[in-house]
Amino acid sequence: MKTRAAAANIVHRVINQGQSLSALLPRYQQEVATKDRALLQELCFGTLRWYSRLDAMAKQLLDKPLKGKYQPVHALLLVGLYQLLYTRVPAHAALAETVAACKQLKADPFKGLVNGVLRNVQRRQQELEEKVDALPQLRQAHPNWLMKRLQQAYPEQWQAIMAANNCHPPMWIRVNETHHSRDQYMALLAEQGIEASADPLAAQALRLGRPVDVTTLPGFSEGHCSVQDAAAQIAAQLLDPQPGELILDACAAPGGKTAHILERQPALKQLVAIDMDADRLERVHQNLDRIGLEATVLQGDAARPQDWWQGPQFDRILLDAPCSATGVIRRHPDIKWLRRPEDIAQLAALQSQILDAQWQQLKPGGMLLYATCSVLPDENREQVKAFLARTPDALLQPLHDGDTPQQPGWQLLPDEHGRDGFYYAKIAKQA
């Protein structure tokens, strides 16, 4: 009962108040029993993943919308619908617990309504689903603006991208090869009964057969591995840090790429990691401390490097630019409902500003790796294309045969093989 009410409050706050799931969930998890925390996460992620589809079905059965102070009750209905349609929770338990949660929401008068709607869905499920699924944006539970952008950018792949966005993401780990090779660590996992497979693109990446608690991973507390998606691991690989170099990790929090750079090249002269967010920078410190690594960690605006760096120009810069995060929707389903179409142009303008600023921090003969976890061309291909056109000393370093100044970079799409959506472009500064 308390778990369903907590889930309803979280969904309500994300959808109606614009709060982020990652900020809300830990707080509410402290309020439910330890054994129910995984269920709370599943209910929140699942309901938000399928929000517009569930919402459209519920609205077919409501005589009038639940607005204002009754919005949490509407969210509770969607939590109940998610259980009935997408989980193995027995229907009688889903119904009983969802109805009982009205008391926790101080909405006892709505018990009959919640019970009636959920039972109606049970009786009319096929009919209701057919009506809703006639529209692809509802069938795949994406906002219409995002679906249209995906259609335009990927006319042959847009449906596969939306389907991948709705999958449960796998758990990836990054092996710290200063301790074990990837094959050696895979053998250690096998000894613990943990199935894993190697990724063909990311050299240190292992995909686990099923998610596990990190405490069960051999040597996790000593830094022998870290949790990081395979697509994100490719960043340090492409950056290719060399001994004695001065490297900047711009927009570094929470520090996964920072640590990976140091793992791949322990003989750097110095690694500087910067981010604007003090709270997220604390995560950088925590990650480095666990693994036993050192970097110069600074709080600062990547668009204003003069405020935090008076040292020499950098040999290499990893610019993991602020973006729409449309490549990691399956890990953060609230992105679909928090992001607005006007955000994309604003983000692209910020990325452009940061790119120009960071270019001045790169020494002649140096290399900048531009990265985002977006799949939208405005933030990726078009962004880099415009930068190359306005920057005479910028030379694109092709990452594949089709990587040209007219179609620059390497776009990884979210797929059912397990990687997130990511974009990379490698740009050298003329000596």
Strands 296-299, 225-227: pairing kind: unpaired
Of 2, 184, 151, residue with least CA distance to 76:
2
**Catalytic residue selected from 44, 251, 323, 373:** 373
**At a CB cut-off of 8 Å and minimum separation 6, what does 388 contact?**
394, 396, 405, 408, 427
Distance, CA of 131 to CA of 154 (rounded, Å):
26
Sheet holding 205-208, edge to edge: 196-198, 205-208, 172-175, 225-227
How many C-beta neighbours within 10 Å does residue 86 have? 16
Distance, CA of 47 to CA of 333 (rounded, Å):
9
How many C-beta neighbours within 10 Å does residue 166 have? 18
Distance, CA of 235 to CA of 30 (rounded, Å):
35
DSSP class per residue in 6-49:
HHHHHHHHHHHH---HHHHHHHHHTTS-GGGHHHHHHHHHHHHH
Q: For residue 213, give both structure tokens.
A: 């608690």
Half-sphere exposure (Cβ direction) of 263: Cα atoms closer than 13 Å: 29
Annotation marks residue 225 as catalytic:
no
For residue 378, give the DSSP letter.
G
Asked if 165 and 327 count as a contact pair (C-beta separation under 8 A), the reply is no
Distance, CA of 87 to CA of 21 (rounded, Å):
20
Q: What is the CA angle 250-256-257, rounded to 5?
A: 50
User: Which residues are marked as active site?
Assistant: 373
